Structure 1
Amino acid sequence: MTQDTAPRHDKPGPEDDRIIADGVDEDVVEPGRRLFEGWKWWLFAGLAVAYTSFHLITLNLYPIETWTFRILHVCGALILGFGLYTGARFVDDEASASPRWLDGLAALLLLPAGYALVQVFLMRQAMAGGALRIEPAVETWQFGAPLIVATAGAILLSWCIRRTRGRLPIAELVLMVAAAAASSYLLMMFNSPMRASTGTAFAPIGISWAAIAGSMLILELTRRVAGMALVVIAGLFIAYVFIGPWLPGFLGYPGLSLNRFFSQVYTDAGVLGPTTAVSSTYIILFIIFAAFLQASKVGDYFVNFAFAAAGRARGGPAKVSIFASGLMGMINGTSAGNVVSTGSLTIPLMKKVGYPGRSAGAIEAAASTGGQIMPPIMGAGAFIMAEITGIPYTDIAIAAVIPAILYFASVYFMVDFEAARKGMRGMRKDEIPRFVALAKQAYLFAPIIILIVALFMGYSVIRAGTLATASAAIVSWISPHKMGPVAILRALQLGGNMSIQIIAVCACAGLIVGVIGLTGVGARFSSLLLGMAGFSQLLALFFAMLISILLGMGMPTTAAYAVAASVVAPGLIGIGIQPLVAHFFVFYFAVVSAITPPVALASYAAAGISGDNAMGTSVASFKIGLAAFIVPFMFFYSPAMLMEGSWLQILRVGVTATVGIVLLAATVQAWFFGPVRLWQRVVMFVGALCMIYGGIYSDLAGAMIVALLILMQRRSQSGGGQPGAVAS
């Protein structure tokens, strides 16, 4: 099913039944995803249900060995991913499809792929029979060579073979068999004494061949589901392993052999490390939670609730997008996905009340990006942060409250001041749902409330997420969209399909993290930041900001943060910044890379809906989300922003920073209580910086400026005059 891209209104009927959002929860079919029918649909639906059920059972009832669990987690995503996502563009009919002889070549590659898989079972029998290790020649020529030939050949062929959405090319079957062969070998070796030899000269060469094939498969699937940006970055990092010894300056390092690197990169030092640890536990669990919420139509309710709450305010649909994106961000793992879910409704309505297409797209992109910093889920970033830092998840979620309020306050007042300046109206009463009618269904918030309460009662994240998922199904029984056995199976299938992108991205990020750890390049970046901090800590922070944004461009939030946390955060901690502050700093800039030109995924998605220029939309969304580029520096100068300090300090910093953010929005939009002259904007900007800085004296100075500006605006309004020309 594809999502409706235009707002839909019910036929005339009882006012209580009036809705705007209908279809927000439908499964969005990406351009590169296949649509099967018949036995193929049943096969991949069954695989997806089995995949999600495996995780629920393993996480809650029957835990298995850690590396085994993570290998199966990645392998399942690879098999599902190659079945569901194409390696080339689709064609409209078989007449324009690629020639059939390409399928014949792919069928030939099934032989070496199948042979490699059979060899794994033969080697397993030999190990079970008492063999301590397999002959290197056998591992190379009877397992490694066939596996690499099949993997590389099938990847190349998949780029050339074009079929209709309902066809599954044989090349994809080859890749699925190759994923099973590589994973089976790694399972065998990592559950034997050979596991201790990884990263040494004594490691079986077969581990390296399996890791090379596995890495190629991960990179190819990442290209299909997330684009080339992350693949190119990962490729550069892997190339650095082998060219690093010849690089000058701080980039040089002693070097690693092919066997030592690849025998270790597919362990918990890389692919099976922190990023996959999080994707195989917390992330997939919350994707399943989100799938259950979607199946019970909670997304539709969230958006309709936002329309009822904010639709009548000036520039109403823009404010609706802020509320809806914040709510949807709790159950949606990507900024661009959030744009597609809510923007298909809010962007056309924003244009209807007077917003240009560019502004409408920019507002939606900025608001949807904020969903990634919205507690309690924070687009899965909080879970990775907890895994890397060891800081309890609940502490991270609490610390995110004030920054999230500041971000959404900034976007809200940007929108409000622009609406006031342009004289925009809100939606009419008869155009929005009745709030009283929707308030009667407030029980649909229960799963999220249960999640938050369970976390703060001390339940583990896994147990809390499972309870919330179960409650989503139970709550649906008293809603108009009851979940029976078929709907539950559909939710499990949807969870499996939705998880493919984030698992591929996390595994690919694991390759980068592995390179950073094994080559020590992260430590050299840290020493570079230390050197800069000797001149100025602000300069070091500015440099860290640029690296975090650069690493995040074109990448999903999860991968962007994982990479930045490995490269940048240790350096910030090294110059004396608290770990929580350092990680929140890089996390925020990894998030806002989605609206930072020239590569801004959320803005590009919004431009596709609004019909405006992608680059222009990204520049406009950068302007609207400007506060997000200032808030992280506030963490450094005012740790109370992250709930570090007494309640009095936290309250003072939170209030003054909010006032400063409002002043900043007024400065950008040239409107406060009325039009603002250019010199007043300069004074207002100084006042905003004073309030944002967080010191006692700076707060007092900022408060005086605010009082002066309000007095001047009020006098100007009461006098009936205009304070001057509005600066554009």
Structure 2
Amino acid sequence: MSNTPDKGTSADTDIQKAATETVAENVDDEIIEANRRVFSGRLWFAFGVLAILYSSFHLISLNVLPMETWSFRIIHICGALILGYGIYAGTRFHTDTPPHTPSHWLNWMGYALLIPAFYTLVQVALMKQTILGGAMRIEPHVEAWHYGYPLILTTLAAIVLSWFNRHERARLPASDLVLMLCALSSAGYLLVIYNTPLRMSTGTSMAPMGISYAAIAGSLLILELTRRVAGMALIVIAACFLGYVFVGPYLPGFLGYPGLSVGRFFSQIYTDAGILGPTTAVSSTYIILFIIFAAFLQASKVGDYFINFAFAAAGRARGGPAKVAIFASGLMGMINGTSAGNVVSTGSLTIPLMKKVGYPSRSAGAIEAAASTGGQIMPPIMGAGAFIMAEITGIPYTEIAVAALIPAALYFASVYFMVDFEAAYKGMRGMRKDEIPKFRRLVKQVYLFAPIIILIAALFMGYSVIRAGTLATISAAVVSWISPNKMGIREILRALGLAGNMSIQIIAVCACAGIIVGVISLTGVGARFSSLLLGLAGFSQLLALFFAMCISILLGMGMPTTAAYAVAASVVAPGLINIGIQPLVAHFFVFYFAVVSAITPPVALASYAASGISGANAMETSVTSFKIGLAAFIVPFMFFYSPAMLMEGSWLQILRVACTAILGIVLLAAAVQAWFFGPAKPWMRLVMLVGAIFMIYGGIYTDLAGLAIGAILLVLQRRPSSPIGKMTEKP
């Protein structure tokens, strides 16, 4: 809330006072994670400058001075590693205990490791001079003893040391400085070699072993940074895939493959077949650009306006704060690309207000989790998922964004009616007029939506994604000049710095996902999985789809959306395409289940984040969010049976499918919440569920049957003379 009650002042009076201005303030402020450093003085200035330069590098390279593709992506990852190891510590900081003084021997070990780290960096410079001097390649013993072995051992030692080296938040330990130097050394060697004809030798016995050494060190650095910013889930999955590279030749059945040597595998993993492949291609162009766009929106306080606008528009409806959460969290989640991160930022405001009007703690947290997760499937940005899908499939971005319209509408309609029926069943009120911002005042600032409107218009006018994103970013700064939060030079630099810091997590995750994608492509395990799905489809296509759903959710558990989709698209989507499903349908199927893994028990990151705010049990919140987002588990199956949901077909067919599917969603919500136009008995809920599935299915006869069921139930509940109708008179 914007104000804190003083002594002798009631909460209601305080809210009334705040409502004359705003309900939400500073919802876009950065979240300080448990292992994030907070610098001051010179370190604050140094990392601020690095973050600004990193964001500016991307804007310039994407719009003015394009670079060679591999070199650009290597610098993209290296910059994120340097910033990441500077900002995120290897262990959590304990704010409730006094600062821990690290052991002297740990400090000295860190300083000692600086020597080999600097040595490998010097060797990179010398090797570059050798290549420029006309040498065809570097001597193998120089690559091994003067570069490769010192680099790998130093990287490993510094990573392990960072796990035990506890220190103050404002201090940068030597072990993390060593890792920053190792990132420079690894990237430097690859930049030298990949700009010579030796680049063509990757994956062959003639490839210099130095590429493998640099790739091993680079992979270790990526994995460790991913652990720091995204937890262990993705690391465990990546470790399993890496283990498969060397264990696979000894496995029986369809899992076995001929095998790859360490040299051949790692000489290819840091190319466009792996780490520099589709995931990094998207993170280095579209994702980083939209992170910069989001940072400019944050710096101009547009996020505050979005939420206050949502309160003014929907706050007075029954269960008002929950409907605000649907609107605001969906909009913000679309832009920021992380379900759990959006829960933490907007949920800190909406969850307490939902509890205040009568929602139980678990429902309040679950609604926020479901709404934030839905932001990942909302066009036009779709949490960057649309851009990854366009990169992988080759389908134009605009076609993907249009295809996502009906599924996103169905999902948010489901969440809305789940919320509305629960509010009706429990007799909840909306917020009072004096508790919400004045709509008349907020309408005067509706121009703050202009950057998003400009983005959408530019995309559909045929501009490239990069050009459209850049125009939207510039417009965010321009629009701020006529708003209360003007962006001058200082605010623009702050936004660029904020974007650099915000990008670390997603870039690390995409690079880590690139390792998994590389293993899949280099070992051929994806093709063997496709053959397994093809075999299942011989018995039942529905069984094959169900199996694909389970794998997509399993691969997505505990991972951010972009990584979850990238991995699932590499493993599952080719198999679905091989059993006759259209590429667009197959990828949307996989994408939806990768997204909803954030609210799927037992590992539901968005639900767990919401439970931390609501104070409810994490598993109860997860189960409730699963129930609220139930439509997202049904609709993807309908993509296969009714492609009109993805705008495939005539306009009449698309309109019919959209309308009947929304009516089906209403019946589904009524069946789950036991309320239609009044309390619903168990047999009615069962009939509603059947009617919902009929209408969501999309066939003409099933639509008619579903409409008949809905009409009969409506008549039964609206007849005052019937026992069921009398139940609706409950206040």
Structure-1 separation of matches of 2:234 and 2:331: 28
Shift of 1:32: 1.4
The answer for unaligned runs of 5 or more in structure 2 is 6-10
Alignment pair present for 1:72 and 2:75: yes
User: Deviation of residue 289 (structure 1)?
Assistant: 0.1
Asked if 1:86 corresponds to 2:89, the answer is yes
Deviation at 1:83, TM superposition (A): 0.1
Partner of 1:530: 534
Q: 2:355 is matched with which residue? A: 351
Q: Structure 2 counterpart of 1:331, which letter? A: I
Query: What is the CA deviation profile of residues 403-454 of structure 1, one whole-angstrom value per residue up to 9, with x for unaligned ones?
Result: 0000000000000000000000000000001111111100000000000000
Q: What is the number of residues matched between the two proteins?
A: 724
1:126 paired to 2:137: no
Separation in 1, partners of 2:296, 2:563:
25
Shift of 1:97: 2.6
Correspondence for 1:337 among 326, 336, 341: 341
Tell whether the 8 Å contact from 2:387 to 2:397 is kept in structure 1 after alignment. yes
Task: Pick one of 304, 320, 324 that aligns with 2:328.
Answer: 324
Does residue 368 (structure 1) correspond to residue 372 (structure 2)? The answer is yes
8 A Cα contact 1:16 1:437, kept in partner:
no
Equivalent residue for 1:146, pick from 144, 150, 158 = 150
Task: Name the CA distance, whole Å, in 1 between partners of 2:427 and 2:194.
Answer: 66
2:456 aligned with 1:452? yes
8 A Cα contact 1:10 1:20, kept in partner: no
Name the CA distance, whole Å, in 1 between partners of 2:683 and 2:392.
47
**Is 2:58 aligned against 1:55?**
yes
What amino acid is the match of 1:230? L
- For normalisation by structure 1, the TM-score amounts to 0.97
Aligned to 2:8: none
Deviation, 1:17, is 4.1
What SS does the aligned partner of 2:102 have?
Answer: coil
CA contact (8 A) 1:113 1:178 kept: yes
Pairing 1:600-639 to 2, within 5 Å after superposition: 600-639=604-643
- Give the deviation of 1:340 after TM superposition: 1.0
594 and 15 in structure 1: CA distance in 2 versus 1, 3 angstrom threshold: closer
Correspondent of 1:673 among 671, 677, 681: 677
Partner of 1:682: 686
Q: Which amino acid aligns with 1:72?
A: I
Deviates more, 1:325-334 or 1:79-88: 325-334
One-letter code aligned to 1:51: Y
Match of 1:185 in 2: 189
**1:672/1:125 Cα in 2 relative to 1: closer, same or farther (>3 Å)?**
same
Classify the secondary structure of the residue corresponding to 2:466: helix
- 1:123–1:134 Cα contact (<8 Å) kept: yes
Q: Which residue of 2 aligns with 1:19?
A: 22
Structure 1 position 98, deviation (Å): 2.2
Provide Cα deviations, 1:203-252, integer angstroms capped at 9, x if missing partner. 00000000000000000000000000001100110010000000111110
In structure 1, give the amino acid aligned to 2:78.
C
SS state of the match for residue 330, structure 1? helix
Q: Which amino acid aligns with 2:33?
A: E
Q: 1:250-399 maps to which residues of 2 (within 5 A)?
A: 250-399=254-403
CA contact (8 A) 1:660 1:692 kept: yes
Deviation at 1:100, TM superposition (A): 2.3
TM-score by length of 2: 0.97
Tell me, yes or no, if structure 1 residue 420 matches structure 2 residue 424: yes
- 1:249 is aligned to 253
Alignment of 1:407-446 (within 5 A): 407-446=411-450
What CA distance in whole angstroms lies between the structure 2 residues aligned with 1:291 and 1:19? 21
Match of 1:39 in 2: 42
Match of 2:513 among 500, 504, 509: 509
- Separation in 1, partners of 2:278, 2:3: 37
CA shift in 2, pair 1:5/1:628, >3 Å: farther
Three-state SS of the structure 1 residue aligned to 2:106 is helix
Matching residue of 2:211? 207
Instruction: Tell me what 1:654 maps to.
Output: 658
Partner of 1:664: 668
TM superposition shift of 1:722: 4.0
Matched to 1:547, the amino acid is I
What's the CA shift for 1:342? 1.0
d(CA) in 1 for partners of 2:633 and 2:98? 50
Letter in 1 for 2:701: Y
Query: Offset of 1:616 from its aligned partner?
Result: 1.0
Whole-angstrom distance in 2 between the partners of 1:289 and 1:664 = 37
Partner AA of 1:438 in structure 2: L
CA distance in 2, matches of 1:208, 1:142: 14
Taking the aligned partners of 2:17 and 2:566, their CA distance within structure 1 comes to 50
Identify if the C-alpha distance between structure 1 residues 171 and 430 changes in structure 2 by more than 3 Å, giving closer, same or farther: same
User: Does residue 202 of structure 2 align to residue 198 of structure 1?
Assistant: yes
Shifted more, 10-19 versus 344-353: the winner is 10-19
Structure 1 residues 680, 336: CA separation in 2 closer, same or farther (over 3 Å shift)? Answer: same
SS, match of residue 96 in structure 1: coil
Aligned to 1:572: 576
Distance 1:576 1:5, change over 3 A: farther
Q: Match of 2:602?
A: 598
Residue aligning to 1:216: 220
Alpha-carbon shift at residue 677 of structure 1 (Å): 1.0
Percent identity over the alignment is 75
Q: Following TM superposition, by how much is the alpha carbon of 1:684 offset from its aligned partner in structure 2, in angstroms? A: 1.0
Conservation of the 8 A alpha-carbon contact between 2:280 and 2:507: yes
Contact 2:280 / 2:511 at 8 angstroms: preserved in 1?
A: yes
Residue of 641, 644, 647 corresponding to 2:645? 641
Superposed displacement of residue 4, structure 1: 8.8
Partner of 1:170: 174
Q: 2:717, 2:724 within 8 Å by CA — same for their partners in 1?
A: no
Residue deviations 1:280-326, cap 9 Å, x none? 00000000000000000000000001101110011111111001111
Detail structure 1 runs of 4+ shifted over 3 Å in the superposition. 3-17, 91-95, 716-726
Change beyond 3 A, Cα 1:493–1:113: same
Q: Secondary structure at the match of 2:380?
A: coil
Q: Residue in 2 aligned with 1:499?
A: 503
Structure 1 residue 716 displacement after superposition: 4.1
TM-align CA RMSD: 1.8
- Greater mean deviation of Cα atoms: 612-621 or 23-32: 23-32
What amino acid sits opposite 2:211 in the alignment?
I
1:68-105 alpha-carbon deviations (Å, 9 max, x no partner): 00000000000000000010122457763321220100
In 2: Cα distance, 1:331 partner to 1:713 partner: 41
User: How far apart in 1 are the matches of 2:149 and 2:13?
Assistant: 61
User: Aligned in 2, Cα 1:5/1:622: closer, same or farther, shift over 3 Å?
Assistant: farther
Offset at 1:634? 1.0
Structure 2 residue identity aligned to 1:340: V
- Distance in structure 2 (CA, Å) of the matches to 1:429 and 1:674: 27
Partner of 1:461: 465
Question: Where does residue 548 of structure 1 map in the other structure?
Answer: 552
Equivalent pair of 2:311/2:321 in contact (CA under 8 Å): yes
1: distance between equivalents of 2:117 and 2:201?
Answer: 26
Partner secondary structure for residue 335 of structure 2: coil
Q: Is the 8 A contact 2:325 2:368 kept in 1?
A: yes
The SS at the match of 1:131 is: coil
Say whether the 8 Å CA contact 2:716–2:725 is kept in structure 1: no
Judging changes above 3 Å, is the alpha-carbon distance between structure 1 residues 10 and 335 closer, same or farther for their aligned structure 2 residues?
farther
Three-state SS of the structure 2 residue aligned to 1:331 is: helix
